[in-house]
Amino acid sequence: MTYRTLLAASAVLATSALSWPAAAYTVFVSNEKDNTLSIIDGTRNEVIETIDVGKRPRGITLSKDFKTLYICASDSDTVQVMDVATRKILHNLPSGEDPEQFALSPDDRYLYVSNEDDNIVTVVDTVSREVVAQYDTGIEPEGMAVSHNGRWAVNTSETTNMVHWIDTTKGVMVDNTLVGQRPRHAEFTKDDAFLWVSAEIGGIVSVIDVPTKKIVHEITFSVKGVQPDQVQPVGVKFDKDNTYAFVALGPANHVAVVDMKTYEVEDTLLVGQRVWHMDITPDGAWAYASNGVSGDISVIDVANRKVVKSIKVGRYPWGVAIAP
C-alpha cells in the first residue's frame, strides 16, 4: 500500500467511525455451513455473540415489532423462533421439509415458507403453530414475498423459472409469470405497485407490474472487469424512501445501486466474494450484505454509496436481518 492510499484508507475509516449509527442496531446473520447465527453490534460493527441454531440456517426474518426472529433451519426441516431480547430459541414451527426462505404476513400472523425439496409453499400460523395451507409450486421454490397490503404472496421457483402468485384473500394460486433463469429473490416495492425479481443465471432483475402480473422492465448489469455470465443478481433491497434499489450481484462481488424510476444502474460497489443477501437499518442509513464465499459482511454507507467495513462472521453467511 502506498502512503497515499494508506492516508485515503485511514480517512475513510475516520469518517466512517464518526458517522457510525448512533442508535444501537443489532444485525443477525445466518451462517449456512456453521449452523450458527452471528450477532453484530451495529454501533461497533463487531460480532458480539455467536449462537448455535438448527442445521443449515438460511433465510432469517424479523417480526414487525422486532421482538421475534424466525430462522429457516433447512436441514433440520424446521423454522426456529428466537426471542430477540434474550436470544434464546423459544420453540420450533412446523415448516414442511427443507425450508429455505420465507416471508411474514403484514400482521405477523402467517409465515409463508418455501420448501425447496418438495416444490411446496407452506403457510404456518405463528400463533397456533400449525400448518394452515400448502401450495404446489414449480421446482425449487426459493424467493418468498408478501405484499405490504397483505393481498399477494409470491414465490419464485428456481428451476421452473416462474413467479407464482397466491391471492391471500381467496387462498388460491391464481397466476404465474415466467421470468429469467433461476429466480432467487422477490421484493415488493413499498407501494406494492411493482414486484422485483432477480434471476441469478439469467443475469437480470425483472420488474413486474403487480396488477397485470406482466414484466414491464428488465434490468441488466455490467461490472467492469467481470465476465457477463458472472454477474448474477440475488438479493434485492429498497432504500427507505423507495428511490434506490440495492441488488447483490453474487460472484461479481458487487452490489448495484439502481434508480427505481429510471431503472438505471448508477453505481456498483465492491463487496466480498459471492454476495447473497442484504438488509438495511430502519433509519435507512446502512446496508449490511452477506458475502457467502469470503465469509464476511460488508457494511455499506447508503447515502454515500461506500463500503466502509467488512466484518468476519461464520462460514457461508446467508441471511441478514437488522433489529433496532
Residue selected from 96, 138, 233, 319 as contacting other proteins according to rule CB under 8 A: 138
CA 279 to chain centre: 6
Q: Pattern 72-101, binding to other proteins, x per CB under 8 A?
A: --------------------------x---
Number of residues that bind other proteins (CB under 8 A): 36
User: Of 63, 92, 134, 181, which one interacts with other proteins (CB under 8 A)?
Assistant: 181
Q: Residue 139 Cβ, how far from other proteins at the closest point, in Å?
A: 5
Q: How far apart are CA 241 and CA 324, in angstroms?
A: 18
CA distance 29 to 290: 8
Q: Does 162 bind other proteins (CB under 8 A)?
A: yes
In angstroms, the Cα distances linking 197 to 80, 120, 162, 269 are 26, 19, 10, 20
Annotate 291-312 with DSSP letters as a single string: ETTTTEEEEEETTTTEEEEEEE
Q: Does 251 bind other proteins (CB under 8 A)?
A: yes
Phi, psi of 18 (to 5 degrees): -70, -40
Buried-exposed string 206-238: b where 16+ CB fall within 10 A, e elsewhere: bbbebeebebeeebebebeebeeeebbbbbbbb
- 201 contacts other proteins (rule: CB under 8 A): yes
* 180 three-state secondary structure: coil
C-alpha cell at 297: 459482511
Q: Which stretch binds other proteins (CB under 8 A): 46-54, 143-151, 175-183, 261-269?
A: 175-183
44-52, 157-165, 253-261, 281-289 -> range binding other proteins (CB under 8 A): 157-165
CA 259 → CA 65, 242, 247, 284, 302, distances in Å?
29, 9, 11, 16, 13
Q: Which of these, 226, 223, 213, lies nearest to 186 by C-alpha position? A: 213
* DSSP code at position 250: B
Q: Which stretch binds other proteins (CB under 8 A): 39-47, 64-72, 88-96, 177-185?
A: 177-185
From residue 181, how far is each of 166, 206, 208, 212 by CA, in Å? 21, 11, 15, 21
Binding of other proteins by 213 (CB under 8 A): yes
- Contact segment (CB under 8 A) with other proteins among 23-31, 148-156, 225-233, 302-310 equals 225-233
The nearer residue to other proteins, 173 or 223, going by C-beta atoms, is 173
Q: Minimum Å distance from CB 157 to other proteins? A: 8
Binding range to other proteins, per CB under 8 A, among 1-9, 22-30, 201-209, 254-262: 201-209
Q: How far is the CB of 130 from other proteins (least distance, A)?
A: 25
Distance between CA atoms of 293 and 37, rounded to whole angstroms?
16
Q: Which of 10, 149, 227, 242 binds other proteins (CB under 8 A)?
A: 227
Residue 202 contacts other proteins per CB under 8 A: yes
Cell numbers given for 175? 397466476
Which of 52, 229, 264, 283 is close enough to bind other proteins by CB under 8 A? Answer: 229
CB of 203 to other proteins, least distance (A): 8
Smallest gap from Cβ 233 to other proteins, in A, equals 13
Binding footprint of other proteins on the chain (CB under 8 A): 98, 116-117, 119, 136, 138-140, 157-162, 164, 172-178, 181-182, 200-203, 213-215, 227, 229-230, 232, 251
